[in-house]
């Protein structure tokens, strides 16, 4: 991340349903965050979307 920025991280299933979201403020360089879930996730493909002041990044994640 290029400096301190507000961010939102969202987790979706393949049906487009939002499962979880978290927000925070990033620091310069690499960052880590946690998403707290109410239930265990099934083995499936999920979509993670990171939104900040500069761009939107989307990644597919396979949980097996």
**Which residue carries 């099934």 as its tokens?**
42
What is the pLDDT confidence band of residue 1, given thresholds at 50, 70 and 90?
low
Q: Where are the domains of the chain?
A: 6-63
Say how many C-beta atoms besides its own lie within 10 A of residue 24's C-beta: 13
Instruction: Give the Cα separation of 62 and 49 in Å (integer).
Output: 14
Instruction: State residue 28's pLDDT score.
Output: 87
Instruction: State residue 11's pLDDT score.
Output: 96
Convert the pLDDT of each residue in 2-25 to its tens digit.
678 999 999 999 999 999 999 999
Convert the pLDDT of each residue in 37-63 to its tens digit.
878 889 999 999 999 988 999 999 999
């Amino acid at each position: 991340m290029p400096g301190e920025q507000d961010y939102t991280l969202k987790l979706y299933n393949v049906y487009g349903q939002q499962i979880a979201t978290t927000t925070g403020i990033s620091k310069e360089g690499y960052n880590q965050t946690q998403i707290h879930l109410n239930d265990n996730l099934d083995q499936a493909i999920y979509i993670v979307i990171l939104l900040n002041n500069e761009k939107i990044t989307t990644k597919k994640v396979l949980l097996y």
